[in-house]
Structure 1
Amino acid sequence: MTFDAHTIAKDFPILDRTIRDGKRLVYLDSGATSQKPNVVIDAESDFYRLHNAAVHRGAHQLAEEATDAYEGARTIVANFLNAHVDEVVFTKSATESLNLVSYAMGNAAPGNRFHLKAGDSIVITEMEHHANLIPWQQLAARTGATLKWFSVTEEGRLDLSNIDSVIDSSTKVVALTHQSNVLGTINPLDVITRRAHEVGAVVVLDACQSVPHMPVDVKALDIDFLAFSGHKAVGPTGIGIFWGRLELLADLPPFLTGGSMIENVTMESASWAQAPKKFEAGVPNMAQAVGLGAALNYLTQIGMDNIHRHEVELTSYLLNGLSEIKDLRIIGPKTTELRGGAISFTLGDIHPHDLGQYLDSQGIAVRTGHHCAWPLTRKLGVPATTRASVYLYNTTDDLDALVEGVQGAQKYFGR
């Protein structure tokens, strides 16, 4: 289909509203959460209106309809990732997904392939969101494993010059982001996964900033586990995805226990159901899963290649526009090579929070702060930045408004 961001934007009702004394909303914060199209809002609402019942639990018609809708959404996710349907686990967020895999590894008994101990190592990177940093810190602390990491260069790329010593025979897990939420950097997974698998380590991918923006094929990427969040992919809040290779999920202990995830229970013991049920204790976020299915169908209809191409064009346009502003420093890659549409920057001595508030007064929504990546911002010497992040519904008009807003802020603050 022909890609037209102006037409696509009409599918998102919130983009029709005005803010701040009638100003047009310019939404450039999709890296934090995306807006929702009517088809997603309707899908979630219709579930509650017409089909609401606990899935997997009843013989009545509503329960059957709810189960069909819920499991249908799982099939949609599997097709979207090129995965087996039983490899898709619904969680409430990507943060829960990453905690699931790290905590489950901590539950692994001696002899289990995921059991970690003193002498083992876990490898991460300096550009990780806290959600893919703290769970591994905690796992290392609980098991006695050593936490190691790849550093970030001044250009915002991973320094892989020492890959053979960082990922070595002690490495059991390599966990990293596909695309940085601060820098926009897209990491070279092929080099990292190849080395990880050479030493028998599993690769855990934080794909929150990539799945909504580009084609992601879990088989082609040759990874072992993946997490992403629905709310960044034009889907509802309260729904996340944990994906893992089926043979690995069979060996991974459960994270939460309770109803729905058991095979058999006595007063003394219990045995677990097969994946994905093993990891879905309790009544799940059913309407949100259905909404996510509608969201991924919507993105598929537009075409992930088309979305990625559009974002590359917008990123190039914005990089060029921002680079012409005096005293503005872009944090991260300055070109679109292996780069996504999250652009962080500083503006002289104007604090990012002050800049963000000024832009908000002009109807422009951006993100300010450390973006849940304190080690990265400290490494780069910028405790806080302003971040603009683009998506399929953004246009060059939005980016022109941002550039004009930044220039207006300079005049407003007398810089």
Structure 2
Amino acid sequence: MIDITKIRKDFPILNREVNGKPLVYFDNAATSQTPQQVIDVIVDYYSSYNANIHRGVHALSQEATDKYEQARITIQKHFNIAKSHEVIFTSGTTHSINMVANGFGAFLSAGDEIIVSALEHHSNIVPWQMLCERTGAVLKVIPMNLEGELVIDTYKELLSNKTKLVFCNHVSNALGTVNPVEIIIKEAHKVGAAVLIDGAQAAPHIKADMQALDVDFYTVSAHKVCGPTGAGMLYGKEEWLKKLPPYQGGGEMIAEVTFEKTTYANLPHKFEAGTPNICGGIAFAAALDYMNAIGFKDIATYEEELLEYATEKLLTIDGLKIYGTSTNKTAVISFNIEGLHPYDIGSILDKLGIAVRTGHHCAQPIMDFYKIPGTVRASFSFYNTKEEIDVMVAGVERARNMLM
């Protein structure tokens, strides 16, 4: 059971005002807010043991190294990852995806095929297009239907012995649709293809289990799960991580360097060149600890209540249409009002202290499918309330009356 009063006290930013109004923060799909418990971890790092990690013999370096590697283990356990060295620290999901896309260039030939879904974020499309341009591989797309769901029967038809990699997000950032990743992974493995799942939007709502999914790669950004920006992780099965070439060259990722030849370090360091975001990795783990203390089942139950409540209230507004009506979705509502531009609605809501996202949400193919320029997106988290939803609905009504 969520104790919303207690939880909201953990987030100092929720006490501020915007344009003279109490902040209503409904842009959680873009980035979540950070609880004081995680802020304290960040402050403690820079106040108490800020030092570069690994190889340092002095006390601060050893303490920072221990905290950083313990954070890796915390992340490993959260996602039920078999081995800690299968957790690669990155700057976030985009970095993680590009790391895999770059490495897969060594395995592809002209005529090979990569499959992505129609529900992808641009960061889940562009790296694969670049990879296809380099290798001559062919990009194929799993289509979507009007409800914002993938057409799985067509996906199965796209698979063949030419398919080398399948990429799909776990949850759509634009629509909130939860994709059937279990089926997608299982079917891809039947033809010998590897699978990368983008878990950026799923991680705040779903505690993904890497062993149960049997996925080859999985990505997460810390700032979606109450952690800091500029930190994230790539999970990869050991067998794949050993085969992939390093993404960057530099310090930390080498075993031995001469001017004639360089040999690479063992996992995970092979993929972690240079000084990492040490504080970010430690705070990432602290954020997961915070959310686990609340409980992902309770979070999911509460956010489902918020989603149902907001959906019912918004649909009472004349001319309002919701895009993405899958029965299996997270707490995201993308909507438009007939005859009004989403940017104009969002601008009025901002004047009322209500933070929503407007535009194509870095998912232009979805907007092209619906033949719209973009949507207003309200995305909820476990620290939001029904009272805030009432404020938003009243704000949308006011915007409609002002703009019509």
- Shift of residue 304 of structure 1? 1.0
Q: Which amino acid aligns with 2:184?
A: I
Mapped contact 1:264–1:270 kept (Cα < 8 A): yes
Contact 1:6 1:395 in 2 (8 A): no
Shift of 1:263: 1.3
Offset at 1:57?
Answer: 2.8
Q: How does 1:98-177 map to 2 (within 5 A)?
A: 98-106=97-105, 108=106, 115-177=107-169
2:46 corresponds to which residue? 48
**Cα distance in 2 between the residues matched to 1:162 and 1:35:** 38
> Of 68, 78, 81, which residue of structure 2 is paired with 1:80?
78
Q: What SS does structure 1 have at the residue aligned with 2:152?
A: coil
- Runs of 4+ displaced beyond 6 Å: none
TM-score (norm 1): 0.96
Corresponding residue for 1:344?
A: 334
Match of 2:8 in 1: 9
The share of aligned pairs that are identical, in percent, is 45
Matched position secondary structure for 1:287: helix
Q: 1:191 aligns with which of 183, 186, 205?
A: 183
How many angstroms does 1:164 deviate by? 2.8
Query: Where in structure 2 are there 5+ consecutive unaligned residues?
Result: none
Q: Let me know the Cα RMSD of the aligned residues.
A: 1.0
Shift of 1:161: 2.1
Q: Answer yes or no: is the 8 Å Cα contact 1:214–1:307 preserved in 2.
A: no
| TM-score of the pair, normalised by structure 2 | 0.98
| Aligned residue in 2 for 1:288 | 280
Pairwise CA distance, 1:246: 1.4
The answer to whether structure 1 residue 257 and structure 2 residue 257 are counterparts is no
- Kindly state the Cα deviation for residue 165 of structure 1 after the two structures are TM-superposed: 2.3
Partner of 2:385: 395
Aligned equivalent of 2:395: 405
Contact 1:356–1:367 (Cα < 8 Å) also in 2: yes
Structure 1 letter corresponding to 2:6: T
Aligned to 1:372: 362
Aligned residue number for residue 62 of structure 1: 60
- More deviation, 263-272/67-76: 263-272
Structure 1 unaligned segments of length 5 or more: list them: 109-114
Post-superposition CA distance 1:365-406 (Å, at most 9, x none): 000000001111111111211000001101111111111111
For 2:52, the aligned partner's letter is: A
Partner Cα distance (1:17, 1:237) in 2: 21
Once the two structures are superposed, residues 3-54 of structure 1 have per-residue CA deviations (whole angstroms, 9 ceiling, x without a partner) of 1223211100000111112x11000000000100001111011101111110
Equivalent position amino acid for 1:72 in 2? Q
Taking the aligned partners of 2:89 and 2:15, their CA distance within structure 1 comes to 32
Match of 2:371 in 1: 381
Q: The residue matched to 2:153 in structure 1 has which SS?
A: coil
Which amino acid in structure 1 is aligned with residue 80 of structure 2?
Answer: N
What is the aligned partner in structure 2 of residue 204 from structure 1? 196
Which residue among 237, 262, 270 is the counterpart of 2:262? 270
Q: Secondary structure at the match of 2:358?
A: strand
- Report the alpha carbon displacement of residue 94 of structure 1 after superposing the two structures with TM: 0.9
Cα deviation, residue 184, structure 1: 0.7
SS state at 1:243 partner: strand
Cα separation, 2, equivalents of 1:138 and 1:367:
28
Deviation at 1:237, TM superposition (A): 0.8
Please state how far the C-alpha of 1:62 moved relative to its aligned partner.
Answer: 0.4
